[in-house]
Chains A and B, each alone.
Chain A
Amino acid sequence: MKRSVFLGLLLIMSLTIFAQEQKMSASEISVFKATIEKETKNIKSLKTDFIQYKHLDFLSKDIETSGKMYFKQPNLLNWQYTKPYQYSIVFKNNKVYINDQGNKSTVDANSKMFEKINKLIVGSVSGNMFDDKEFAIAYFKNKDAYIAKLTPKTTTIKKYIKQVDLYFPMDEATVSQVKLIEPSGDFTRIVFKNKQINAKVDDSVFTN
């Protein structure tokens, strides 16, 4: 009797696990990838609000910061925190412009670094990071979203990041949430809201 109750419990537990997250089949993956890739190609500009949650295991509450992000092809980017403090970082003309609560500074960046950062940002918002040689990718889904889990292949990245999870809502082809997990298990979760693709983004947005 006891044994069957135990088995029953085990079955329910594993069912719940399955209901939460399950692996995608090979055909699902290829359809999913094709949709995302097609969608990304059409992105000329991006405008979105975001909320960033920093989770540290020893804290009682995640640290919450939020702001706006603007991107315009080929290489204009403004990542801007507005709460609880003002901090923005603009990538433009091979330069990085930082405005830290009115304290301004500029850093030179080489174009290769730009390319990488652009790819990373656009990749994480759009989700097109699949062909990257730097990550191994596993695909899952739950009842609301498809989840791509990226594990870095190179030791340089492994030092900082254990895994990146990208969440794609079933009805959208772009990312709604990015979770960057550190080797320690602590993570940063960024949730995108009010995302607008190809809305008009004025060049003046990329000045801080």
Chain B
Amino acid sequence: MQKWMTRFLLISLLSLFFFSCKSYQIENAKKRENGVATFDNRYFSNPETDYVYKAHIEVYGNQLSGIFIAKRMNDTLHRVVFTTDFGNKLLDFELSENDFKVNYIMEDLNRKIIVNTLRDDFRLLLKTRHTVTDVFENEDYVIYKSADKKRFNYFFESKKDNRLMKLVNASKSKEKIIFGFESKNSIFAEHIAIQHKNIKLKIELNQISN
């Protein structure tokens, strides 16, 4: 009995180990000759547009509601503000690929883990140009892979109408954050859902027609 138990445990552990070491792969996707150097996420790329969304945040069972505002200030810099429904600011960030400035953050939110998580999410959501290392494709999507520090970003563009539908931020082996986009055209997303895999955080954004 003891022996059987040990063996069972060992097998479980081993399979768990192998399973978790399996590198992150997209189902049915084949690598294709890479002829592209960059991928542009155009959803927050127009400096003339005020991007205004109603936001719902679900964090460890708590619900937060408010308004998410983003604007492209120049080629590299975006401004992001999150307010309550009543208009008072909860946070105000300026961010580019390498720079980050907190113009304002409400005291209760001023925790390193919150600031860093939101900074990284917003940075990835807003950044326009990404350097492509590999290109994959399956039946529905062309998938552009880009390196992001220790992680990788996969941009799923629909073959049907060339719209960015999904963005997956993954480590070598696992999905970490999934961004889902719903859009009527390739330059504006009406609905955005940001789902974290390793923390209980979900952000949903719905366009407010201003």
User: A159 with B107: in contact, given A52-B87, A60-B50 (CB under 8 Å)?
Assistant: yes
Across the interface, name the chain A residue whose C-beta is closest to B85. Answer: A87
- 8 Å CB interface, B94-145 against A: 103-104, 107
Identify the B interface with A (CB < 8 A): 48, 50, 52, 54, 56, 63, 65, 67, 69, 71, 73, 79, 81, 83, 85-89, 92, 103-104, 107, 206, 208-210
Q: Which residue of B lies closest to A156 (CB)?
A: B107
A166 to B55, CA, bound (A): 29
| B52 touches which of A52, A63, A98, A188 (Cβ 8 Å) | A63
Among all A-B residue pairs, the 10 with the closest Cβ atoms: A188-B87, A54-B87, A59-B50, A84-B208, A100-B65, A85-B54, A87-B85, A58-B79, A63-B52, A58-B71
What are 14 A-B residue pairs whose CB atoms fall within 8 Å in the complex?
A52-B86, A54-B67, A54-B83, A54-B87, A59-B69, A59-B71, A60-B50, A61-B50, A63-B87, A87-B85, A100-B56, A184-B103, A184-B104, A188-B88
Asked whether any CB of chain B lies closer than 8 Å to the CB of A81, the reply is yes
Contact partner of B208 (CB less than 8 A), chosen from A85, A98, A100, A159, is A85
User: How many angstroms between the C-alpha atoms of A102 and B204 in the bound complex?
Assistant: 15
Asked whether, in the complex, the Cβ of A81 is within 8 Å of the Cβ of B85, the reply is yes
Given A52-B87, A100-B65, A105-B63, 16 more contacts at CB 8 Å?
A: A52-B86, A54-B67, A54-B83, A58-B79, A61-B210, A63-B69, A84-B208, A84-B210, A85-B206, A87-B65, A87-B85, A103-B63, A184-B92, A186-B89, A188-B86, A188-B88
A160 at the interface (CB under 8 A from B): yes
Closest chain B residue to A59, Cβ basis: B50
Partner of B73, one of A58, A63, A85, A103: A58
User: Restricting to A104-136, which residues have a CB under 8 Å from any CB of B?
Assistant: 105
- The tally of residues in A whose CB lies under 8 Å from a CB in B reads 26
Are A63 and B107 in contact (CB-based, < 8 A)? no
CA distance in complex: A134, B39 (Å): 54
Q: Confirm or deny: A17 has a beta carbon within 8 angstroms of a beta carbon on chain B.
A: no
- Distance, CA A103 to CA B55, complexed state (A): 13
Question: Which A residues are in CB contact (< 8 Å) with B73?
Answer: 58
Cα of A56 to Cα of B206 in the assembled complex, Å: 20
Return B147 CB to nearest CB of chain A, in Å. 31
Min CB–CB distance A92 → chain B (angstroms): 18
B48 touching A100 by the CB < 8 A rule? no
Q: What is the bound-complex CA distance between A52 and B69, given in angstroms?
A: 16
**Across-interface contacts of A159 in B (CB, < 8 A):** 107
Q: A160-B88, A182-B88, A182-B89 are in contact. Are A63 and B63 (CB under 8 A)?
A: no
Nearest CB of chain B from residue A90's CB, rounded to whole Å: 14
A64 within 8 A of B: yes
User: In the docked arrangement, what's the CA distance between A103 and B202, Å?
Assistant: 15
| Residues 44-67 (chain A) with a chain B CB within 8 angstroms | 52, 54, 56, 58-61, 63-65
Chain B residues with Cβ under 8 A from A180's Cβ?
87-88
B92 to chain A, nearest CB (A): 7
| Residues of chain A in range 153-200 having any CB-CB distance to chain B below 8 Å | 159-160, 180, 182, 184, 186, 188
Residues of A within 8 A of B81 (CB): 56
**Interchain CA distance A142-B60 in the complex, whole Å:** 51
A52: chain B residues at CB < 8 Å are 86-87
Nearest-CB residue, chain A, relative to B207: A84
Residues from chain B with Cβ under 8 Å of A58 in the complex: 71, 73, 79
The answer to whether B48 touches A60 (Cβ under 8 A) is: yes
Task: Enumerate chain B residues within 8 angstroms of A64, measured Cβ to Cβ.
Answer: 210
In the bound complex, what is the Cα–Cα distance between A105 and B61 (angstroms)? Answer: 12
Which residues on B sit within 8 Å (CB–CB) of A65? Answer: 85, 208
Residues in A whose Cβ lies below 8 Å from that of B206: 85
Min CB–CB distance B203 → chain A (angstroms): 14
Distance between A150 CB and nearest chain B CB, rounded to angstroms: 16
